[in-house]
Structure 1
Amino acid sequence: MNAPTRQPPQSGEIIVRAIPFAFAENIDPAWHPDRREWSHMANGASLTMPYLEPFLIKTVREALKKASNPQLKQDVHGFIAQEGNHFQNHRRYNEILKRNYPELADVESEMAADYKRFQTKSLRWRLAYTAGFETMTMGITEWLIGDRRNLFNDADPSVSSLILWHMVEETEHKNVAYDLYQHLYGQYWPRAWGLVYASWHVARSSRKGYRRMLKRDRLWNRPASRLRLWAMVIRFLMKASPAMLRSLVPGYHPGKVTDPEWVARWTSAYAGLPEDAIPLLDTSDPEIPAQFA
């Protein structure tokens, strides 16, 4: 008997996908063999997720108690569930990274201390940080999906699929933290500061991680490696900055931004999978089509 398949999502629906991504114990941390610097940039970002996303969840859960809009409350619950699945998958991958790079535990300790300190801030500050980070991810999503041929072709499918699934769900809940902040506070300048500060803070934490990995690989001080790294950072800034800047315009709302068409194709392909299937993309195809191997 064939396993049941999922129903296609409704427009605007936040789908909770408890996907148990699996990573080989001997996976190469340079999961894109031709782009070691890019691999470690993404690894550094992954390292932040088990600290960042629980902080976001705690913040919106506390803010939820003050919310009065029923639809917004429902969306917040979807946000919490999706973010919970994200950091759990990243944590499993990060544990493998730390076996290769035990010094990453120091980076984790610093992040844990940061987010513990942030918990002493006002709810408005924490929600502005949350809304700011979630806004910033829209630029990252546009970059990763739009440039997926360059970033993921011939890369490890488990890591590539984890990252792109994460971006699909960031698109699905892109309005939630922003709407919750607007619902409770609505002040422009704290939200703008939250975007700038959260973007800087997460980027700094990610850099601490990939710097240590490149040092362990004896690449950090090599000019050629540093040039490749800077090229990736510049590419990221060029691709993601426009989305971040437009979000600072008064009257901006994430719902006005058109989602990448690939996101809809991914969600449709996922809806057709058996319920117990893990959605691994075919990274051997340069197009990285929104269908699963």
Structure 2
Amino acid sequence: MSASKIVVRRIPFAFDEQIDPVWHPVRPEWSHMVNGASLAMPYLEPFLIRTVTEALRQVKDPLLAADARAFIGQEGVHFQNHRRYNEILKRSYPELAGVEAEMEADYARFQARSLRWRLAYTAGFETMTMGITEWLIHQRALLFGDADRSVASLVLWHMVEETEHKTVAFDLYQHLFGGYWPRVWGTLFAAWHVARASRKGYRAMLKRDGRWTDWKSRRALWAMVGRFARHASPAILRSVSPSYHPSRVRDPDWVDRWFEAYQGLPEGRIPLLDTADPEIPARFST
């Protein structure tokens, strides 16, 4: 049996039960944008896992099958950590349970779609994460500097691993189905759908905080949404090229440094980054 180079890191992130949901005190709107995305993960990622698991039964290539199993392992650890954090969020924002119910219903409906449709959605979402990863890493000082290190470390670890398995969903789709236009539709629809689901979450939190109707807060929110769109859009646009393959996209150097730092981490240690350091280097603090 072929072995994948993708590593399943079973990291049990620990969150302070009294953690402030505004985990970046200077950027509350950004805090809730990330919180809204986190809220989607325990519904989105099990859907991706079910889709890849079903596709795996038809895969003949042993290396692709090994990568798919590693993809499933990584995504499983991701959503479990996000769920742990989300449970703390919901203590301050009980209305988020309603947002979760809507997401659960969406993915239940999607589960009835064809495997081809679901794989196109999966490959599309994974494409969008590449642009987000580039943005988060290149602008990590702005986005995570002096923020709660457990949340910052959770998000950046998640995106590093998205980079590690960036080819899997795309290769599965191409291996089993192919077809240009369904892939393009999956990319555009997944980007829209996940952004919409995340927005429902952060809108609910900003409303409870009294920020949704505050013009200064709304201006800061739209500025951050604009930053997100500017940096995620290039990944989406380049992916609609007929010759696109995610392996041709160069990863940020910081990703490799994160992997190197993790290899030297004592067993059982959570990879917490030092957000007080202006550079937020890829090394882990105690």
Scaled to the shorter chain, the TM-score interval is over 0.9
Matches within 5 A, 1:196-207: 196-207=188-199
1:82 alignment partner in structure 2: 74
Query: Could you tell me how far apart the structure 2 residues matched to 1:25 and 1:201 are?
Result: 30
Percent of matched pairs sharing the same residue: 71
**Is residue 101 of structure 1 aligned with residue 81 of structure 2?**
no
CA shift for structure 1 position 275: 1.0
CA deviations 1:193-244 (Å, max 9, x no partner) are 0000000000000000000000000000010000000000001111111111
- Aligned equivalent of 1:175, options 148, 153, 167: 167
Cross-structure match for 2:61: 69
Task: For 1:290 and 1:67, locate their aligned partners in 2 and report how far apart those are by CA, in whole Å.
Answer: 36
Measure, in 1, the Cα distance between the counterparts of 2:33 and 2:163: 21
1:279 equivalenced with 2:274 (yes/no): no
Matched, 1:257 2:255: no
Alignment partner, residue 126 of structure 1: 118
- Counterpart residue number, 2:158: 166
- 1: CA distance between counterparts of 2:140 and 2:99? 28
The answer to whether 1:191 aligns with 2:183 is: yes
Alignment match, 2:233: 241
For residues 276 and 222 of structure 1, the distance between their equivalents in structure 2, rounded to whole angstroms, comes to 44
| TM-score normalised over the length of structure 2 | 0.98
Which residue is 1:47 aligned to? 39
Q: Deviations over 1:98-154 (max 9, x none)?
A: 000000000000000000000110000000000000011000000101110100000
Distance in 2, Cα, partners of 1:243 & 1:176: 16
Give the number of equivalent residue pairs.
282
Partner AA of 2:147 in structure 1:
A
Return the letter of the residue paired with 1:209.
G
1:212-231 mapped onto 2 (5 Å cutoff): 212-231=204-223
The equivalent residue for 1:142 is 134
CA distance in 2, matches of 1:238, 1:172: 23
**Residues of 2 paired with 1:228 and 1:96: CA distance?**
25
Structure 1 distance, partners of 2:66, 2:41, is: 23
Q: How far apart in 2 are the matches of 1:239 and 1:172? A: 19
Mapped to 2, the partners of 1:130 and 1:167 lie a distance apart of 16
Tell me the CA shift for residue 59 of structure 1.
Answer: 0.1
Q: What residue number does 1:92 align with?
A: 84
Question: Which residue number in structure 2 is paired with residue 16 of structure 1?
Answer: 8
In the alignment, the residues of structure 1 paired with residue 36 and residue 56 of structure 2 have an alpha-carbon distance, to the nearest angstrom, of 30
**Structure 2: distance between partners of 1:243 and 1:64:** 26
Deviation string 1:1-35 (CA, Å, 9 cap, x unpaired) is xxxxxxxxxxx820110001000010000000000
Distance 2:196 2:143 in 1: 21
Query: What is the root-mean-square deviation of aligned Cα atoms in Å?
Result: 0.6
- 2:48 equivalent in structure 1: 56
Q: Partner letter of residue 167 of structure 1?
A: M
Structure 1 CA distance, aligned partners of 2:227 and 2:73? 32
CA distance in 2, matches of 1:119, 1:240: 26
Larger displacement relative to structure 2 (239-248 or 210-219): 239-248
What's the secondary structure of 1:258's corresponding residue? Answer: coil
Q: Which runs of 5+ in 1 are unaligned?
A: 1-11
- Matching residue's letter, 1:61: T
Letter in 2 for 1:158: S
1:268 pairs with 260, 268, 275, which one?
A: 260
How high is the TM-score relative to the length of structure 1?
0.96
Structure 2 residue runs of 5 or longer lacking an equivalent are: none
Q: Structure 1 counterpart of 2:161, which letter?
A: E
After superposing on structure 2, the runs of 4+ consecutive aligned residues of structure 1 that deviate more than 2 Å are none
Structure 2 distance, partners of 1:121, 1:241, is: 26
Cα distance in 2 between the residues matched to 1:273 and 1:25: 25
